[in-house]
Amino acid sequence: MKPEVTKYHYGLGEAYRIKGAYEEAASSFERILMLDPDHGEALCRLGDVHVAMGKTEKAIPYYEKFIRSSKNQAESLFIQGRIHDLKGDMKEAVASYRKSLSLRSGDFDTLVSLASDLVKEGNVREATDLFLRAKKIRPYDENVLVNLGKLYTTQKSYDRALEVLSTAIKIDSFNPETRFYLGKVYYSRGDLNRAIDHTERAVEIDPADPEKHFTLGLYYDKKGWHDMAVAEYEEALYLDPQYLYNRLREAEPDQKDEAEPKH
């Protein structure tokens, strides 16, 4: 395959992938692999596209083929970490990402992937440090900003949370997580009206999340809008009965003592 042809199809595939046109993106990357089966970037991107479409079983073989054909040890370790993540083996994923990061300490994707898994493990401090390193590389990456906002909120560093989330919402005002955590920040600062405004928008954008409905119900209760609060609790109950039961059991003893509902 001529280099200019590869470059054209790869660029086209990337444009489709970023746009969210995953079927078209897959077709472009497949055209490259038909003529160059070991094209590393196309293998990885085709795997990424299948992950984005929820087709994990199709993604893994492309990642595995990349590892077999690649001479880039750091990238191979990173992709191995991604495979472990897709298979649900977080411990092995973290180990692979750490090894990859030891070979290229400034790689953005590895920093973010490792940080994301550490959050799931409950290692908030190290995850925060890694996201901050990623932020230095890409100061306006929305995913990094939102994750930092979540972590700062969890650590009750509300001023820092407000700073990063205020930047994130300028990038995408329709991100429900940005709205949700901004609501929590404003609640912590005693601004119940703005907390409700942001949480209502989060629920509107992501109506299938029981946590958002439950939290909005708590804010409505605090405002004295009890009928509206009940409606939100009922919606959370409809979406996930077990979640609401657990949250009510956790929150009930602490309602009189804590300024902020626990989530």
pLDDT in tens, 14-73: 999 999 999 999 999 999 999 899 999 999 999 999 999 999 999 999 999 999 999 999
Find out whether 128 and 148 touch, Cβ atoms under 8 Å. Answer: yes
List, run by run, the mean pLDDT of 10-residue segments along the chain (263 residues): 79 94 96 92 96 95 96 96 97 98 97 98 96 98 98 96 98 97 97 98 97 96 97 94 72 47 47
pLDDT of residue 244: 66
Q: Which two tokens stand for residue 120?
A: 């799931």
Three-state secondary structure of the chain: CCHHHHHHHHHHHHHHHHHCCHHHHHHHHHHHHHHCCCCHHHHHHHHHHHHHCCCHHHHHHHHHHHHHHCCCHHHHHHHHHHHHHHCCCHHHHHHHHHHHHHHCCCCHHHHHHHHHHHHHHCCHHHHHHHHHHHHHHCCCCHHHHHHHHHHHHHCCCHHHHHHHHHHHHHHCCCCHHHHHHHHHHHHHCCCHHHHHHHHHHHHHHCCCCHHHHHHHHHHHHHHCCHHHHHHHHHHHHHHCHHHHHHHHHHHHHHCCCCCCCCC
pLDDT of residue 252: 54
Query: Alpha-carbon distance 110 to 75, whole Å?
Result: 9
Which domains can be identified in the chain, with CATH numbers?
1-70 (1.25.40.10), 88-138 (no CATH)
Query: Alpha-carbon distance 186 to 8, whole Å?
Result: 47
pLDDT of residue 35: 86
pLDDT of residue 77: 98
pLDDT of residue 250: 66
First-to-last alpha carbon distance for the chain, in angstroms, is: 54
φ, ψ dihedrals at 123, nearest 5°: -90, 75
pLDDT of residue 247: 63
Q: What is the pTM of this model?
A: 0.85
In angstroms, what CA-CA distances link 22 with 8, 14, 17, 53, 230? 17, 10, 5, 7, 40
